[in-house]
């Protein structure tokens, strides 16, 4: 199991991390709005995350920390 930490208020809701996850574990939270007025990315099933960091590597704003 891996642990993801998002700097949620820096997220621009671009969705590039969502497409990058090979396990399709990420989504933009339609029910949340951050300080930048975007729907921030969130993980749906952290237990299924393998910690590959593909999402973090694709994030243009470098806001995802991955621990394993």
Partner 1 sequence: MVVFDKPHALNDMPFHYCPGCTHGIIHRLVAEVLDELGIEGRTIGIAPVGCSVMAYDYFNCDMIEAAHGRAPAIATGVKRSDPENHVVFTYQGDGDLASIGMAETVHAAARNENITVIFVNNAIYGMTGGQMAPTSLPGQVTQTSPYGRDVNHCGYPIRVCEMLAQLEGPEYLERVTVNSVKNIRAAKKAIKKAFQNQLDGKGFSLVEVVSSCPTNWGMTPQAALKWIDDNMLPYYPLGVYKDRSAAKEETK
- The residues that touch ligand SF4, with contacts defined as CB under 6 A, are 2, 4, 6, 11-17, 20-21, 23, 25-26, 41, 43, 49-55, 59, 61, 63-64, 66
Is there a contact between 61 and 35 (Cβ–Cβ < 8 Å)? no
Residue 57 touches which member of ligand SF4, partner 1, none, C-beta under 5-8 Å by kind: partner 1
3-state secondary structure of 23: coil
Burial of residue 13 (CB within 10 Å: 0-12, 13-18, 19+) is middle
Residues in 41-60 that interact with partner 1 by CB under 8 A:
51, 53-54, 56-60
């Amino acid at each position: 199991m891996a642990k993801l930490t998002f700097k949620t208020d820096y997220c621009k809701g671009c969705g590039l991390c969502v497409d990058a996850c090979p396990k399709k574990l990420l989504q933009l939270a339609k029910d949340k709005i951050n300080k930048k007025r975007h729907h921030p990315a969130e993980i749906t099933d952290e237990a299924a995350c393998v910690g590959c960091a593909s999402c973090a590597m694709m994030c243009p704003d470098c806001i995802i920390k991955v621990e394993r």
